[in-house]
Structure 1
Amino acid sequence: MLLRDRHVLLTGATGTIGSALAAALAGRGARLSLVARGEEALHGLAHRTGGVAVPGDLTLADTPASVLAAAEAALGPVDVVLHNAGVEVLDELADVDLEAVRQAVLLNLVAPLVLTRLALPSMLRRGRGHVVAVSSLAGVATFPGLAVYGASKAGLTHAMAGLRAELRGTPLRVTTAELGPVDSPMMGRIGTHPPTAAAFARALRLHVLRTLDPEEAASAVVTAVERDRPHVRRPRRAAPLAAVAGAPRTLVRAVLTGIPTATAARAVDDGQGLRR
């Protein structure tokens, strides 16, 4: 989907990757609804990118509906929902704070599912839409101290695979970005937990991973959306590992070839979802 004049709803907009995504999307001519909790930073980002600030805490039950309604009131129907909001939990599972577990699952997994569910009917009626999830290579194979974070991201990746299967036969598209470590405050916090820091340091020494620049990660995601790619995996050196982990999903897609989906059938019956 070419992004010029398309309405993109971006969550987690003021974070390191989110700010880079907002700049990249604005550079492609997208109209932006920017979602984050911190209002001062959010309004500053909206001013810099020409977007609309939509403050909200996505861990609260009513927020996904309210931010979608606010975005549509400001800029019209949403063409792209880009789920970037996320939080890490850095601790051994035996010691982790239980409220931190709940908040991470709500923000990293539940909120994207709920917001996608709310956005899909309008996209299907208009026959145009793209769902994008910024996931993580921690959802492929994670390090000690990141069990909760890795589980939430694995769930997000798996959910997008299921959604992609459900949307076969419609013009809607789904892109999952599985990103490795990005130069950000999150990586700085990871350095404070010795087992996790040691694991990342060894992976970097062995050249299994490298640290991504935020702008590099954002550019890869935006390019994948414009080219309708189902996956973007960075750094490239880790992409084969992610592809191997995703092999069962690839096999399932092959098995499902030619089998109609209920979503596509409804769109055809209603005369909807037939435009690109």
Structure 2
Amino acid sequence: MLLGTLFGLAIGLVLGLTGAGGGILAVPALVIGLGWSLPQATPVALLAVGLAAALGAVDGLRKGLVRWRAALLMATLGVLFSPLGVHAAHVLPQKTLMTLFAIAMLAASTRPLLQGRASANDGAGQQALEKNCMLSPQTGRLRWTRRCAMTLAGIGSVSGLLTGMLGVGGGFLIVPAFRQWTDIRMHSVVATSLLVVALVSIGATFSALGAGAHISRVGAFFIGASMIGMACGRVTAPHLPGPRLQVGFALLSAGVALFLLGRTWA
């Protein structure tokens, strides 16, 4: 019980400090730290990440940072595709799922390490590039073209599939995809991603519970602690150096991913 609470606090804190991508550490905390199987850990991780992300999304909505129309489109597609991921999680072998999860973690760990280069081009150079989704200079809102809508729908669909299958929340995919295909600034990207992660994760949790999963008492403590950790992380994040936090998260994620691969195939 105590160990689950401590892991929950740590995951919520990382999620609050680093943004939506930090939720990818929830499953390893349960699998490595508590010895659970991936199907057992997935619904607990999903609900913990979903509720913790909801707290962060509320803060973003209050500050006017969330692009809520884009978030609702991605979340709708994510919720529709998450049951397919839940079904795949019950069909695929445990070793395959763990390998896919470790690969997803390695992919997530590369983003913060490359952000320095992306930040260097985040000014006028980025404004000159025509991306799939662009903000209107007059209104500051997204220009809703067919290309933009299809891009956001694709991001939401893939995010929902991975969320249901691996319990990863999807933030590690949404944030870099937003950076790649939109000209929305980073603080708004994170806030919008948190809302999508909250809606999709909670939707996928219901799909997993409907497929026979359950949340134990230890899992409930983990979930509650993660929400407390998220609140602490959101308060602390503005006072800490963002780039160093992201690099630290990347190195931790890469190390955990390599450990999972070694443990799975040993």
Pick the structure with more strand per residue.
1
| Structure number with bigger Rg | 1
TM-score by length of 1: 0.28
TM-score by length of 2: 0.28
Q: Which structure's relative contact order is higher, taking Cα pairs within 8 Å and 6+ residues apart?
A: 2
